[in-house]
Amino acid sequence: MRRFATPLLTALAPVSWGTTYAVTTEFLPPDRPLFTGLMRALPAGLLLLALARVLPRGAWWWKAAVLGALNIGAFFPLLFLSAYRLPGGMAAVVGSVGPLFVVGLSALLLGQRPTVRTVLTGVMAAFGVSLVVLKAAGALDALGVAAALASTASMSAGTVLTKKWGRPDGVGPLALTGWQLTAGGLLIAPVALLVEGAPPALDGRAIGGYLYLALANTAVAYWLWFRGIGRLSATQVTFLGPLSPLTAAVVGWAALGQALTPLQLAGMALAFGATVVGQLRGGGHRATGPAPVASSGSSPLKTASHR
């Protein structure tokens, strides 16, 4: 059972992200995706920094900035842009190819040769998610597709680089998560101000929604995610991603009265099966333990899910 403890705890992150859509549509001000991304990232990052009481040193200033940009600062705006411009759950379908991106980047940056099983599992996950979230196709927007692919590539690159760089000696995943969320939030802040203007007025429901997103949905979830990256292979972690749109579909059915068709249920079973298979360790993707490195001194969306 201890073998599955880390995957199960890490899986709580995409499960939490799967509730974002319902919280956004039911509790938050409409049409403020960048402000929502800012409120998720920056307060959570500052809270974790206060708890960890550790700042980057040396090369980790720029490494934390790069990881924060890839995993948070670029990922959030690109994801929201794609969700607004693509029909139905197309953004989630494009995002579900993330495991295949990670397989390719792991081969390039980590020297992990992809296996046939891993590639087939990635295809199965993407197909299963498409059955769950994809509605009538409609016209595809080129900018929306490009943004969806860029957001997926950004998060995939951040996952692989987080695995490659590990973390400084004596620094835990709490501090590493705080660095990235703070850096990402600071990158989003000027974009949100320029694009959306001043923050909206907030009522009690909105404040509660933002508190949930900042604490459980971001601070805790991303801490679990980066903790998992340190203990599992990059592909094991990314194959947990389909749990996010699956959770969104279940929440939509249970809390928002959305129907689930037999085809969607089949897609959920297929995607969940791919998630389980993705946790099996193959010869080409050996998981490693925590990887500290020596310090050198140095908004409403049209998609079913978003992180």
The model's confidence at residue 282, banded by pLDDT at 50, 70 and 90, is low
The model's confidence at residue 284, banded by pLDDT at 50, 70 and 90, is very low
Q: Which of 161, 212, 265, 175 is nearest to 36 (CA)?
A: 212
Q: Which of 279, 229, 197, 242 is nearest to 94 (CA)?
A: 242
> Which amino acid does the sequence have at 244?
S
Q: Which of 219, 176, 240 is nearest to 14 (CA)?
A: 240
Positive or negative torsion for Cα 57, 59, 60, 61: positive
Q: Evaluate whether residue 298 is within a structural domain.
A: no
Whole-prediction pTM value? 0.83
Share of the chain above pLDDT 90, in %: 42
Domain range holding 100?
A: 2-280
Q: Evaluate whether residue 294 is within a structural domain.
A: no
Q: Which tokens hold the place of 150? A: 């860029």
Say how far apart CA 18 and CA 130 lie, in whole Å.
Answer: 15
Share of the chain above pLDDT 70, in %: 86
Q: Contact at 8 Å (CB) between 287 and 231?
A: yes
Q: What is the pLDDT of residues 216-256, one digit of tens each?
A: 999 999 999 999 999 988 888 989 988 888 888 888 888 87
Q: What is the pLDDT of residues 34-84, one digit of tens each?
A: 999 999 999 999 999 999 999 999 999 999 999 999 999 998 888 877 777
Q: Which residues contact 232 (CB under 8 A, 6 or more apart)?
A: 6, 7, 10, 287
Q: Evaluate whether residue 240 is within a structural domain.
A: yes
Q: Which of 303, 32, 62 is nearest to 188 (CA)?
A: 32
Q: Evaluate whether residue 55 is within a structural domain.
A: yes
| Domain total in the chain | 1
Q: Evaluate whether residue 261 is within a structural domain.
A: yes
Q: Evaluate whether residue 25 is within a structural domain.
A: yes
Q: What is the pLDDT of residue 300?
A: 35
Q: Which residues contact 301 (CB under 8 A, 6 or more apart)?
A: 21, 24, 25, 33, 80, 83, 84, 91
Mean pLDDT to the nearest integer, 154-168: 93
Say how far apart CA 242 and CA 247 lie, in whole Å.
Answer: 9
Q: Evaluate whether residue 161 is within a structural domain.
A: yes
Q: Is residue 294 pLDDT above 70, yes or no?
A: no
Q: Which residues contact 124 (CB under 8 A, 6 or more apart)?
A: 270, 271, 273, 274, 277
CA angle 268–234–120, rounded 5-degree value: 50
Q: What is the pLDDT of residue 286?
A: 43
Q: How many alpha carbons fall within 13 Å on the CB side of residue 178?
A: 16
Mean pLDDT to the nearest integer, 10-31: 88
Q: Which residues contact 145 (CB under 8 A, 6 or more apart)?
A: 82, 86, 90, 94
